[in-house]
Amino acid sequence: MNKKELRTLQSACSKLDQFNDYRMHDYICILMNTVLDFQMQTPVVQRAYEHYINNRRSEIRSHSDLQRLLSKYPNTLKSNTRLAQYLWGTNHWSRVKLLRELVKFFEAENVRGYKSLKKWIDKSTFENIQGKVVVRDKDTGKVIHSIGPVLFEWLRLRLGKDTIKADVHVKRFMEKVLGYTPSSDIIISSLIEVSRNIGVKPRELDAAIWHEMSGY
């Protein structure tokens, strides 16, 4: 990105508002948001998350609590749908399958709470998780959900890392401002530079762009 484009981008970012901080400090809440908050309408995600907070949080507070709950429900379409209804008040069975894969992955990585998750994220790159948390159609083998680069950066954002997730909203913002969409690496590096220039954290700039482009 040349200097003129960077100035244009900085000017657009400085006009944003709602520089919110979406860090989270509760391990189970982080897991729930990771498997829910992508490719779904914001009100649906909010209702699902609130259902967990209001109805299940008191009984599912730890990694072991979650493991015990998952073990009670067979990994089938019917049981995963029932568990989605129990956890979130929805029928999102594939998100339950993703939750199973994420918990299994973290168990293998000795991540069992907020502190160990922070320690893991501090030393990890996307390559550490790439291809390891995947939900596939049992008949076709097609990937339904996975922890890809955007979800990995979203996880890093929730844990306070100085990054940007180059998701659809951020890419649309770049297209709107610059007239084209740079590569994800350039988007992340340029917006991190802009955030420092305008005196906000990258995660706060990420939130402001989301509010601007999502309409919420």
* End residue of a domain, out of 122, 138, 158: 158
Q: Which range marks the domain in which residue 177 is found?
A: 3-21+163-214
Whether residue 172 sits in one domain with residue 138: no
Look at the chain and report how many structural domains it folds into: 2
Q: Of 151, 123, 115, which Cα lies nearest the Cα of 38?
A: 151
Whether residue 186 sits in one domain with residue 92: no
Structure confidence at residue 194 as a pLDDT band (50, 70, 90): very high
Quick one: average pLDDT of 99-106?
98
Q: What are phi and psi of 129, to 5 degrees?
A: -120, -10
Whether residue 127 sits in one domain with residue 69: yes
pLDDT for residue 82: 98
What's the DSSP call for residue 76?
S
pLDDT for residue 123: 96
CA distance 205 to 87: 31
Taking the model in full, what pTM does it have? 0.94
Q: Is the pLDDT of residue 196 over 90?
A: yes
pLDDT for residue 31: 98
Whether residue 94 sits in one domain with residue 35: yes
Whether residue 179 sits in one domain with residue 135: no
Q: Of 202, 185, 184, which Cα lies nearest the Cα of 193?
A: 202
Identity of the amino acid at 182: P
pLDDT for residue 216: 85
Whether residue 196 sits in one domain with residue 132: no
pLDDT for residue 215: 85
pLDDT in tens, 131-184: 999 999 988 999 999 999 999 999 999 999 999 999 999 999 999 999 999 999
CA distance 106 to 120: 9
> What would the DSSP string read from start to end of 120-131?
HHHH--GGGTTT
Q: Does residue 199 contact residue 183 with C-beta atoms inside 8 Å?
A: no
Whether residue 88 sits in one domain with residue 146: yes
